[in-house]
Structure 1
């Protein structure tokens, strides 16, 4: 098994001991670290749940593109919400960015997220190489 790190300036830089993503076995499988609603240019959190969901997906997309793929390559998505009442908003925004067949998904309610984020998402993508 071989692995390599994916890094792009189009998504927020890692704020801890992790990589934006790691590709396995020639780059077909990409494990994407969790993204929160940080604007990569300012490293500041965008305001409001809708803006954060959009930014999270934009950040995930940037990392996937840097790995050679697209959002259509996502096979598994984990969503972490500080308020599960916002789950319908996640569905609405996802509907604008993902097409069928949709990725498998889990939605998890959490007490808190880094930097006061309201939502975080991580993903696994399988690239057509």
Structure 2
């Protein structure tokens, strides 16, 4: 399977866990889940859920860019994980500001807990064709 390549960038958080920031398989890019972590410091960003959602989207965009794509413009599917669905409308406000004309398909689920006890995490699929 020579058409499968891991994607790594310093512009998105990395860690020593056994997964890639993204994996490109042909024209499809699968971006791992990200919480609101600053790639420069490795720390969860301060701020409300909108600020944190925007940080997550910045992380996803960085991986898409590294794979040769056009940031969030190439994202076709997103999964949103929230620890509290009370944040749903505020996450939608931040998310909607980043995906204007043609938003990707999306799933949103409430989960009991996320790594580092963050409130939001997103993963994405992008088409780079």
Please list every run of 5 or more consecutive structure 2 residues that lacks an aligned counterpart in the other structure: none
Partner Cα separation in structure 2 for residue 99 and residue 67 of structure 1: 22
Cα distance in 2 between the residues matched to 1:68 and 1:93: 25
User: How far 1:16 moved relative to its partner?
Assistant: 1.2
Deviation per residue, 1:94-128 (Å, 9 max, x gap) = 12211222100000000100011110000000013
Q: State the superposition RMSD in angstroms.
A: 1.1
Counting matched residue pairs gives 126
TM-score, normalization: structure 2?
Answer: 0.93
Structure 1: which 4+ aligned runs deviate by more than 4 Å?
A: none
- Name structure 1 gaps, 5 residues minimum: none
Aligned to 2:57: 57
Structure 1 stretch displaced more, 49-58 or 109-118: 49-58
Match of 1:21 in 2: 22
Alignment of structure 1 residues 11-90 onto 2, 5 Å: 11-25=12-26, 28-47=27-46, 48-69=48-69, 70-90=71-91
